[in-house]
Amino acid sequence: MENGTRIPVTKLGVDNNVVIRIKTLEKDLYSAVQLGFEKRTIKNPKSTKPLYRFVREVRFKDEAIDLPTAGNAIKPSDIFKEGDIVNVTGISKGKGYAGGVKRYHFRGGPRTHGQSDRERAPGAVGTGTTPGRVLKGKRMAGRMGHEKVTVRNLQVISVEDNFIIVKGLVPGGRNSILMLKKVGVSKKFVPLYQEVSKVSKGESLKVEEVKEPVQEEKIKEVKEEVEIKTKEKEEANGK
C-alpha cells in the first residue's frame, strides 16, 4: 500500500460474464439478469444457442434500474471500484470424512486412566433412556467442507478489465466459481503503489535503491574514524 503496509490479496479473474437473459416484472414477476460463464463445446452442429457451464441469476430490488442488454458482456469496472466492500460467496474446499476433533475442534478424551487408545473419541452422544436416541443436529463425525460459504466485508484493492484484486482470502480453491456482492464503500481505503499497477498490466518493474543523504554522511564519518584508528595502531606497532 502507499502507506508502506503489506497485505495479503487474492486475484480473481472476471471475464466473459455474458448476459444470457433479462427477466422483467411484467413477464416474469420480478427483475433479474442471468449471467453465463465459460462456454461449453456443442456436439450438435445444428444447435445455434450457446451453452454455458455455469449460469447464475442476479435479482434487482429496484424496479427502475437500467438493465443490461442480452448478449453483452459485463466488465468488473462497470460495477466495482477501488475501495468497495464486497461479500464473496463460493463452495469451500472439501476435506473428506473427518472426525469431531478436526471438524468441530473437540478436545478429545484424557490421556490417562486407560484412555490411551481413545484420545480423539467423541464421547457419549445419547441422552440415556429418555428419550433414548441421538438428538437431531448432534455434532459428530461426517463430511467436512464442500459447502456454500460467504466471506464478508472484503475490500477491493484494484479493478481491471479482466480481474479484481481483493484483500484477504476467498472460499474455494483455484478455478472455482465465486459470486461478488457489493455491500458498501470503505472510508479508510489506502490505494496500492503505482508500480504494482504497472506490474499487473505486464510492464517490467525496476526497483532502485534509495539512500538518505543523512545516512550516507554517517557512513562516511564511521569509515574515516576506522581509517584513523587503523593508522594509529600501525604507527604504534611500528615504534
pLDDT at 201 > cutoff 60 = no
What is the CATH code for 1-14+80-106+139-204?
2.40.30
Which residue ranges make up each domain of the chain? Answer: 1-14+80-106+139-204, 18-73, 209-239
- Give the count of beta carbons closer than 10 Å to the beta carbon of residue 25: 11
CA 12, CA 190: separation in Å to the nearest integer? Answer: 20
Question: pLDDT, tens digit, for every residue of 122-157?
Answer: 888 888 888 889 999 999 999 999 999 999 999 999
CA 36, CA 71: separation in Å to the nearest integer? Answer: 10
pLDDT at position 23, please?
A: 87
Contacts of 120 (CB under 8 A, 6+ apart): 99, 100, 101, 106, 108, 109
pLDDT at position 88, please?
A: 94
Q: What angle do CA 16, 17, 21 make, to 5 degrees?
A: 130
pLDDT at position 228, please?
A: 77
Mean pLDDT of all residues belonging to the chain: 81
β-bridge partners, 23: 32
Question: pLDDT, tens digit, for every residue of 160-185?
Answer: 888 899 999 999 988 888 999 999 99
Burial level of 180, CB count in 10 A (0-12/13-18/19+)? buried
pLDDT at position 218, please?
A: 61
Residue 194 pLDDT grade (very low, low, confident, very high; cuts 50, 70, 90): low
Residue 101 pLDDT grade (very low, low, confident, very high; cuts 50, 70, 90): very high
pLDDT at 199 > cutoff 70 = no
pLDDT at 235 > cutoff 50 = yes
| Cell numbers found for residue 132 | 433414548
pLDDT at 24 > cutoff 70 = yes
**Cα separation values, 197 from 22, 66, 80, 158, 203, Å:** 35, 31, 17, 8, 9
Question: pLDDT, tens digit, for every residue of 205-223?
Answer: 443 443 444 556 666 776 6
At residue 189, what is the residue type? F
Question: pLDDT, tens digit, for every residue of 39-72?
Answer: 777 776 666 667 888 888 888 876 656 777 888 8
| CATH class entry, domain 18-73 | alpha beta
pLDDT at position 219, please?
A: 65
